[in-house]
Amino acid sequence: MHETLSDWLWQVDVQGNYISVGSKVKESLGYESEELLGKPPFAFMPPEEAVRVSGIFGSLVESRQPIHAIENINIHKDGRLITLLTTGVPIYDDNGAFAGYSGLDRDITEERMMARDLERLDNENRELSSRMKAAVDSAGIGIWEYDIAGSLLVWDDWMYRLYGIEPDRFSGAYEAWVNGLHPDDMERAAREADEAMTGGKPFDTEFRVVHPSGDVHHIKASAVVLYDEAGTPLKMIGTNYDITKRRHLEDELAAKAAQLHALYEGIPDAIVVADVETKRIVHCNHAAEEMTGVGVADLKLRTIHSLHPADVLDETLQGFERQSRGVQRVVESEVITAAGSRIPVSITASGVLFGDRPCLMGVFRDITESKEAEQAIRLANQQLQASEQQLMAANQQLQASEQQLMAANQQLQASEQQLMAANQQLQASEQQLMATNQQLMAKHGVQGLLANISAYLMTPVGEVLDESIEHVLGLVGSFTKADRCYIFQFTDDGMMVSNTYEWCAAGVAAKKHGLQQLAVDEFPWWMERIKRHEPIFIPNVSALPVEAKLEKEYLEHQDIRSLVAVPVSTAGFSGGFLGLDRVNSSVLNIHEDHIPLLQLASDIIFGSLNREKSAQQIREREAKYRAIFESIQDVYAEVNLATGTIEEISPSISSFGYTRDEILHRQSLDYYVNPEERDCLISALVDRGSLRDFEAHFLTKSGESITVSLAISLIKGVPDGLMKIVGTMRDISERKKHECQIQENIRLKNDFISSVSHELRTPLFSILGFSSTLLKESGSLDPATRLEFTSIIHDESVRLSSLIEDILTISRIDSGKAKYSRQIFDPVKPVSAVVAILRRQAEEKGIELVEEKPDREHRVVFDQDSFKQVMMNLLGNALKFTPKGGRVKVSISGAEEMVSITVDDTGIGIAASDHEKIFDRFYRSVPSALQIEGTGLGLAIVKDIFEMQGGSIGVQSELDRGSQFTVLLKRAEDAADEDVVQSPVTE
Ligand code: ADP
C-alpha cells in the first residue's frame, strides 16, 4: 500500500498505540507524524465517537480480524471534524506472534458532506412531491402526454374535468382535443402544437375550451417535446389549467380602467395633473388639449404655471394657496392658449397620488359665458359708479354754488343745469401552489418538474410571483444540480440587462447585487446568441472561443466554470434569459437533452413576467384614473341616459352631505330642484352633445338648494356600449352670491341716485323760486315778506348742505380720508347743542322733545364732532319718523365702564326683520305711502363712525310702537391713553 492524495499509512503496537504514521496525516488532521506516536487513534476522536470506535476495533482485534473500511470521526488540530475511512490488517513478528495492526486512513470529509447534501435535497424533493400532489389535485392542473409516433393522447383525471367530459367519451385521439377547443381558437392552438412538435419551439399558450354544457373556460397550456438520440420528436408532455377566473378579473379591471378613462376623456372640463415638486405636467385629458390648443405631448413638456398669463399668475397661486387652506372653494383665473388668447376659467385643485408621485390635479372649467354676463353687469355697475361720481362732483359744485347763493342769490340757474346734465351706469386572486406529483416525479422527472413549474407560476401576481419565480429557479437549479439558477431581464430599450431573480445552492454566494444595469454591448458574443433566441451551452468556460474573450474574462472573474443560458423564445428581444452555472466544479450536471426543458421553464417564467407586466400596467392605469376619480374636488358622475340612474359618483359628493351609497342607483334628476332647469338641461344636452358651465340648483342632504355649474357630455359607455351622461358638478354658490351682491349694489345705487336727485332738487327748486321772486320783485315786496323769503332760502340751503355733508362723509369714510381725534368730554353739552338746533323743527311738527340730564357728570372718550353728527342723525330720525303729537326723549346714564345715551320716540317703529338692515347704506324701511324723505345714509354713517372709533349702537323697536336707539361710549377713566385731547365743546 502506498499513500495517495489524502491517504496516510499507519502502524499500531499490541496496545493499539501508533508506532509509525505517514507524513500525509498533516494534510487531514493537521498534526505532524511525531505528535501521534505513542498515542491511540481514539485520542483524536470526540469522546462518544472514541467509545463507539474502540468497541468495534476491540472486538476485531480480539479475533485478529482485518478492519474493513470503518468510518470514524476525528478532530483536526484546528477543531474541525474530519471523517476518516480506516482500513487495516493484523501484523505478526518473525516468530508469528501478534504484533499490532498496520493500515491506511483516507480523508472522506468532503465526499460525506456532498452525500449529506444530496440526501437533504432528496428529502426536500420527496417533501415537495407529496405537497405537490396535494396541490396539483386541489389546483386543478391537468397533465397530458402525447405519443407522437402513435398519435395517442393520454390524459389524467383533471384533464377530463378541465374539458368537461367523461373519460369514456374521449377517443384519446389528437382530434378530440382540437374539437374541445373554442372555434375561434382551434386553428391557432393546433398550429402552435404542430409547431412545437416540428419546429422544436416550446408550447406555451392560452386558449378557450367549450364544455359540452356550452360553458367557455380559459385554459393556460404549456408543454415540452422530448426527442430520441437522432433528434426525432418522441413525445410531448404538458399541463393545462383553468385561468378563467383570472382572465375575468383581468378583463374586469381592464374594462374598469377603460371606463374611467372614457369618463375622464368624456367630460368637457380640462383635467391637468402636475408633479408637486417640479410643477411639470404629467397627465392631461383631451379637453385640456382643446382648451389650450396645445397637444398632449407638448403640454407634458410644460409646467402648470405656463398655463396662465404672466400677469394673473401671482393672484392665481394665492388663490390655490387659499383653496388648499379650505378658505376658498373655487379659484378663478385665465388660461392662455397657443394662439395667445385668454380664456376665463374656474379651477378646483386637489392633491392626488399619481403613480406613487405626489401630484396636484386641477380641473379647469371654461366660464367665458358667465364671465361675459358678469362683465356686462360690472360694466353697468361701473357706468353707474361713473354717473354716481359725476353726481358727487356735481354735488360738490352745487355746494360751491350754494355758498354763492347765500352771498348773492345768483348763478343758481347754471348750477341747476350742471346738476341736471349730470344725472345719466369641476390578488387579484392569488394561489400559492406547490411541487411535484410523486408518481410523475418518480416516473418522469421532467414531467414532474414541468408540472411543478406550471403549478407555481399559474396564478400568482406581485410579490407572490417574485417568490414563486425564485422557488421555480430553486426547483430547476436542484434538478440540474447547478450552483446558481437565475433570470436576467433586459430594459425596455434593450440597452441594459440586470439579474432580477436568483437562486443559489447552499454555500454558494449570491451575485445578483453586483449584476445590475450591465451594458449590453459589453457582451457582444453572448448577446448576439440571445438575440437570435439561441441557447448558450458552455460546458467549460476556459474553452470559450477567442470571439468570446470579453465574456470569458467576465465569467472567469466570477469563478464561473460552466453554464447554460436559455433565452426566451417567443417574446421580443426585450425579454431576457434563464441561466444556470456551476462554480466549484468544471462539470455542469446538465445534459444537452435538458435544454428544451430549460427553454420551456424560461418561456413559462417570462410568460408569467410579461403577463404580470401587462397586468401591472393595467393596474397602474386603473389606479391612476381611480386616484383622479377619488381625489377630484368637483363631483364626478356617470348617469345612464335611458334610465336616468346614477351609475358612478366620486366620493367628493360628501361635500353636498351625501355618502356615495346614498346616491348610487338613484334618479339623478331628483336632485335638481327646479323643473324648468331639468327640462332645459336634458334638451340642451341632447341638442349639443355636451354642456359647459350650465348653471342649475342642486339639493343638498340638508335640504338646501345650492347653485352648481355642470360640465357634462354624452358618451358611449365602456364596455356595455350604452349611452351615458358623464361630467362634473361644481359648487359655485360663492360666485353666485357675489353676483347677487353686485346686482343688489346696482339696485341700491339706482335707488340712491334717484333719491339723491330728488332730495337735492326739492330744496333747490324752492331756493330758486324764492330767490327769483326776490330778484324780480324786490321793490314791490314788503320787508316782512322779504325777510320770510330770505329765511326760507336759508333753511333750504341748510338742508341741502346737510345732505351734501352726508354724501361727502360717506365718500370720506370709503376713501379712508375721515380723521377722528380722541377727545374727552361730557356728552351732556353736545347733546344739548343738538337738541337746541332741532327744537324749532319739533315745535313746528307738534312733537314734545325732552332732554333728560344725568344727575352727575360723565366723561367719555370720542371724537366730539362725529358724536354730534351721530346725535343729529338719531334725533333727526326720531323727529322725522314720529307723527304729530308724539314724543321724543334723549337721556344720558352711566354704567360701570360705559356711558349710554338713549334716543326714544313714539313713532312708526321698525319691523324686527329690518333691525340689522337699517344700518346698511341706502336701506330704508319706510312705507313709500308715508312720503318721508331720506337717503338711507344716516344710520350707515353712524355705524361706520362706531366701527372706526369703538363704542356701539343698538336698536329696540316694534312696528307702530316707537323706537329706542342706544349708544354706548367708553368712559374717560377707563380709556388709558396718551393721545387724548381735553377739549371744550364746540357748538
Ligand atoms: P333716512 O333717515 O335717510 O331714511 P337712515 O339711515 O337715517 O336714513 O335710516 C334708515 C332707515 O331706518 C329709515 O329709512 C327708516 O326706515 C329707519 N329708521 C331710522 N330711524 C328710525 C326711527 N326713529 N323710527 C322709525 N324708523 C327709523
Chain CA centroid to CA 791, Å: 79
Question: How far is the C-alpha of 933 from the C-alpha of 377, rounded, in Å?
Answer: 29
For ligand 1, say whether the CB of 872 is within 6 Å of any of its atoms: no
What atom of ligand 1 comes closest to residue 939's alpha carbon? 6
Q: Which three three-digit cell numbers place residue 468? A: 414563486
Q: Which long-range contacts (CB under 8 A, 24 or more apart) does 806-809 make?
A: 806/935, 806/937, 806/938, 806/941, 807/392, 807/395, 807/756, 807/935, 807/937, 808/395, 808/396, 809/869, 809/941
Question: How far is the C-alpha of 867 from the C-alpha of 425, rounded, in Å?
Answer: 35
Nearest CA to ligand 1 atom 13: 924
* Helical residues (DSSP H) of 689-827, grouped into ranges: 733-777, 783-815
For ligand 1, say whether the CB of 876 is within 6 Å of any of its atoms: no
CA distances from 70 to 25, 60, 85, 106 (A): 17, 11, 6, 10
For ligand 1, say whether the CB of 735 is within 6 Å of any of its atoms: no
CA proximity to 300, closest of 317, 278, 321: 278
Note whether 393 and 401 are within 8 A (CB). Answer: no
DSSP assignment of 121-181 equals HHHHHHHHHHHHHHHHHHHT-EEEEEETTTTEEEE-HHHHHHHT--GGG---SHHHHHHTB
Query: Which pLDDT band, with edges at 50, 70 and 90, does 447 fall under?
Result: low
For ligand 1, say whether the CB of 333 is within 6 Å of any of its atoms: no
pLDDT tens, position by position, 22-53? 888 988 899 999 999 999 999 999 999 999 99
Residue 878 Cα to ligand 1 middle (Å):
8
Give the pLDDT confidence score for residue 130 in this predicted structure: 55
Query: Which pLDDT band, with edges at 50, 70 and 90, does 590 fall under?
Result: low
Instruction: Quote the Cα angle for 738-739-744, to 5°.
Output: 95
**Bridge partners, residue 824, by sequence:** 861, 982
For ligand 1, say whether the CB of 907 is within 6 Å of any of its atoms: yes
Note whether 205 and 182 are within 8 A (CB). Answer: no
DSSP 204: E
For ligand 1, say whether the CB of 185 is within 6 Å of any of its atoms: no
- Per-residue pLDDT at 554 exceeds 50: yes
Contacts of 328 (CB under 8 A, 6+ apart): 319, 322, 734
pLDDT tens, position by position, 109-141? 888 887 777 677 666 656 655 555 554 555 567
Radius of gyration of the chain (CA): 51
Nearest CA to ligand 1 atom 25: 909
Residue 765 Cα to ligand 1 middle (Å):
25
Residue 834 Cα to ligand 1 middle (Å):
18
For ligand 1, say whether the CB of 878 is within 6 Å of any of its atoms: yes
One-letter amino acid identity for 353? L
| pTM (2 d.p.) | 0.47
CA distances from 145 to 132, 183, 236, 717, 974 (A): 19, 23, 6, 46, 106
Question: How far is the C-alpha of 692 from the C-alpha of 710, rounded, in Å?
Answer: 6
Query: Which pLDDT band, with edges at 50, 70 and 90, does 380 fall under?
Result: low
Give the pLDDT confidence score for residue 632 in this predicted structure: 82
What atom of ligand 1 comes closest to residue 882's alpha carbon? 24
For ligand 1, say whether the CB of 99 is within 6 Å of any of its atoms: no
Q: What is the mean pLDDT of residues 626-636?
A: 83
Among 760, 906, 918, 933, name the best residue to mutate to test ligand 1's pocket (greatest count of ligand atoms within 8 A of Cβ): 918
Note whether 874 and 889 are within 8 A (CB). Answer: no
Residue 943 Cα to ligand 1 middle (Å):
13
Residue 840 Cα to ligand 1 middle (Å):
21
Query: Which pLDDT band, with edges at 50, 70 and 90, does 877 fall under?
Result: very high
- Per-residue pLDDT at 744 exceeds 90: no
- Per-residue pLDDT at 918 exceeds 90: yes
**Counts of helices then strands in the chain (DSSP H, E):** 26, 34
Contacts of 490 (CB under 8 A, 6+ apart): 496, 497, 520, 573, 574, 575, 576
Give the pLDDT confidence score for residue 569 in this predicted structure: 63
DSSP assignment of 73-119 equals EEE-TTS-EEEEEEEEEEEE-TTS-EEEEEEEEEE-HHHHHHHHHHH
What atom of ligand 1 comes closest to residue 873's alpha carbon? 7
For ligand 1, say whether the CB of 924 is within 6 Å of any of its atoms: yes
What atom of ligand 1 comes closest to residue 936's alpha carbon? 8
What atom of ligand 1 comes closest to residue 878's alpha carbon? 23
Nearest CA to ligand 1 atom 3: 934
DSSP assignment of 306-332 equals GGS-HHHHHHHHHHHHHHHTTS-S-EE
Chain CA centroid to CA 253, Å: 19
Note whether 747 and 671 are within 8 A (CB). Answer: no
One-letter amino acid identity for 679? D
3-class SS at 230? Answer: coil
Q: Higher-confidence residue: 626 or 873?
A: 873
Question: How far is the C-alpha of 939 from the C-alpha of 942, rounded, in Å?
Answer: 5
Note whether 422 and 390 are within 8 A (CB). Answer: yes
Residue 22 Cα to ligand 1 middle (Å):
130
DSSP 667: B
Q: Which three three-digit cell numbers place residue 313? A: 399668475
Question: How far is the C-alpha of 805 from the C-alpha of 387, rounded, in Å?
Answer: 19
Question: How far is the C-alpha of 125 from the C-alpha of 717, rounded, in Å?
Answer: 53
Residue 59 Cα to ligand 1 middle (Å):
133
What atom of ligand 1 comes closest to residue 907's alpha carbon? 24
Among 806, 871, 917, 939, name the best residue to mutate to test ligand 1's pocket (greatest count of ligand atoms within 8 A of Cβ): 939
Q: Which three three-digit cell numbers place residue 650? A: 366620486
For ligand 1, say whether the CB of 181 is within 6 Å of any of its atoms: no
Query: Which pLDDT band, with edges at 50, 70 and 90, does 981 fall under?
Result: low
For ligand 1, say whether the CB of 908 is within 6 Å of any of its atoms: yes
pLDDT tens, position by position, 277-288? 999 998 888 889
Give the pLDDT confidence score for residue 979 in this predicted structure: 54
Residue count (the chain)? 987
What atom of ligand 1 comes closest to residue 934's alpha carbon? 3
Q: Higher-confidence residue: 393 or 612?
A: 612
Question: How far is the C-alpha of 141 from the C-alpha of 132, rounded, in Å?
Answer: 11
Nearest CA to ligand 1 atom 14: 924
Residue 803 Cα to ligand 1 middle (Å):
15
Q: What is the mean pLDDT of residues 547-576?
A: 79
Note whether 731 and 348 are within 8 A (CB). Answer: no
Among 756, 802, 881, name the best residue to mutate to test ligand 1's pocket (greatest count of ligand atoms within 8 A of Cβ): 881
What atom of ligand 1 comes closest to residue 905's alpha carbon? 23
pLDDT tens, position by position, 823-871? 999 999 999 999 998 998 999 999 999 999 998 899 999 999 999 999 9
Residue 406 Cα to ligand 1 middle (Å):
30
Residue 938 Cα to ligand 1 middle (Å):
8
Give the pLDDT confidence score for residue 419 in this predicted structure: 36
For ligand 1, say whether the CB of 803 is within 6 Å of any of its atoms: no
What atom of ligand 1 comes closest to residue 937's alpha carbon? 6
- Per-residue pLDDT at 424 exceeds 60: no
Q: Which three three-digit cell numbers place residue 602? A: 424560461
Q: Which three three-digit cell numbers place residue 397? A: 359744485
DSSP assignment of 838-856 equals HHHHHHHHT-EEEEE--SS
N- to C-terminal Cα distance for the chain? 145
- Describe the strand order of the beta sheet including 536-538 as a list of residue ranges: 518-519, 496-504, 484-490, 576-582, 562-567, 536-538
For ligand 1, say whether the CB of 882 is within 6 Å of any of its atoms: no
Cell 366620493 -> residue: 651
Query: Which pLDDT band, with edges at 50, 70 and 90, does 432 fall under?
Result: very low
Contacts of 116 (CB under 8 A, 6+ apart): none
Q: Is 358 exposed, middle or buried (0-12, 13-18, 19+ CB in 10 A)?
A: exposed
Query: Which pLDDT band, with edges at 50, 70 and 90, does 897 fall under?
Result: confident
For ligand 1, say whether the CB of 962 is within 6 Å of any of its atoms: no
Residue 836 Cα to ligand 1 middle (Å):
21
Q: Which three three-digit cell numbers place residue 689? A: 352633445
Give the pLDDT confidence score for residue 880 in this predicted structure: 93
For ligand 1, say whether the CB of 956 is within 6 Å of any of its atoms: no
For ligand 1, say whether the CB of 460 is within 6 Å of any of its atoms: no
3-class SS at 567? Answer: strand
Among 805, 880, 924, name the best residue to mutate to test ligand 1's pocket (greatest count of ligand atoms within 8 A of Cβ): 924
Query: Which pLDDT band, with edges at 50, 70 and 90, does 190 fall under?
Result: confident
For ligand 1, say whether the CB of 939 is within 6 Å of any of its atoms: yes
**Which region among 387-396, 647-656, 770-779, 884-893 has the lowest average model confidence (pLDDT)?**
387-396
Residue 757 Cα to ligand 1 middle (Å):
19
Give the pLDDT confidence score for residue 488 in this predicted structure: 92
**Residue % of the chain over a pLDDT of 70:** 84
Question: How far is the C-alpha of 529 from the C-alpha of 535, rounded, in Å?
Answer: 7
For ligand 1, say whether the CB of 964 is within 6 Å of any of its atoms: no
What atom of ligand 1 comes closest to residue 923's alpha carbon? 10
For ligand 1, say whether the CB of 412 is within 6 Å of any of its atoms: no
How many Cβ atoms from other residues are within 10 Å of residue 162's Cβ? 23
Nearest CA to ligand 1 atom 12: 918
For ligand 1, say whether the CB of 802 is within 6 Å of any of its atoms: no
Note whether 580 and 598 are within 8 A (CB). Answer: yes
Q: Which three three-digit cell numbers place residue 931? A: 312720503
For ligand 1, say whether the CB of 842 is within 6 Å of any of its atoms: no
